[in-house]
Amino acid sequence: MLTPRGGQAPALRLGETKSMFTPRIAPSMLASDFTRFGEEVTRIVAAGADLLHFDVMDGDFVPYFAISPMTIAALRQTTDVPFDVHIMVTRPRRYIDALATAGANLITFHIESADAPEAVIKAIHARGVKAGVALSPDTSIEAVLPYLSQLDLVLPMSVEPGRGGQTFQPGALEKIARLRQRIDEQNLDVEISADGGVTPEIAPLAVQRGATILVAGTAIFRSPHPELVVKQLRQA
Ligand code: DX5
Ligand code: ZN
């Protein structure tokens, strides 16, 4: 369900302006109107979302709270669109069963968290869910390379985790390119997601370097025409 359309993304070719790969678009529900969450899901699925991105926080790994497994379980009743759950928590292992039961299709935890990555990946896969690892902006890709062959997705974050509405940090682009090179060298089927400050202007830069999923909160939800933004992001 989460395999890239048309196989692996191409590596960046200099001078290439348009990617040969169509990314999947994952609106980040953190930017939606929390007073009418269910309607926001329906609205954004109608606007063309390929996945829905949910941010889970524990008030410890990041000093905020966001969306809970209970909320995700409730929203699971409203749509069949895959749920891409990004957990910014110190102890990811503790959350896996609740999130799998809630209906997550993909769970992405942070490599900077306190649990052993192999154990978390194993726990996610044991529940039949895809496993991803996220890196905060100050973390180098070397931290995740040992786990690449066990993963379904890598997310090199382009903002500090915890809040929407921040500006894209361009350092993420080089990380995407280097991760894509490693993934392709090893002939692996690992997606790369861009998350944080993604706009229609940023999208082609990320996709040309090998991103296959684009997460966008502010750009989509603050627009009067989210369906156009989803389309523009997809045409990266
Ligand atoms: C930040 C979250 C993002 C955030 C993206 O910690 O992981 O998913 O909602 O929001 P924008 O697109 O506004 O940067
Ligand atoms: Zn996120």
pLDDT digit string, tens, across residues 33-79: 999 999 999 999 999 999 999 999 999 999 999 999 999 999 999 99
Q: Give 111's contacts (C-beta < 8 A, 6+ positions apart).
A: 117, 133, 134, 135, 139, 143, 144, 147
Average the pLDDT over 206-228 and give the result: 98
Res 2 pLDDT > 70: no
**Residue 68 CA to ligand 1 centre (angstroms):** 16
Atom of ligand 1 nearest to the CA of 217: 12
Among 154, 149, 184, 185, CA closest to 172: 154
- Pull the structure tokens for residue 59: 């008030």
Task: Among 56, 85, 195, say which to mutate for ligand 1: greatest number of ligand atoms within 8 Å of CB.
Answer: 195
pLDDT digits (tens, 9 = 90+) for 6-35: 444 444 444 445 567 899 999 999 999 999
Residues 146-197: tens digit of each pLDDT = 999 999 999 999 999 999 999 999 999 999 999 999 999 999 999 999 999 9
Q: Which residues surround ligand 2, an ion (CB under 5 A)?
A: 55, 86, 195
pTM attached to this predicted model: 0.93
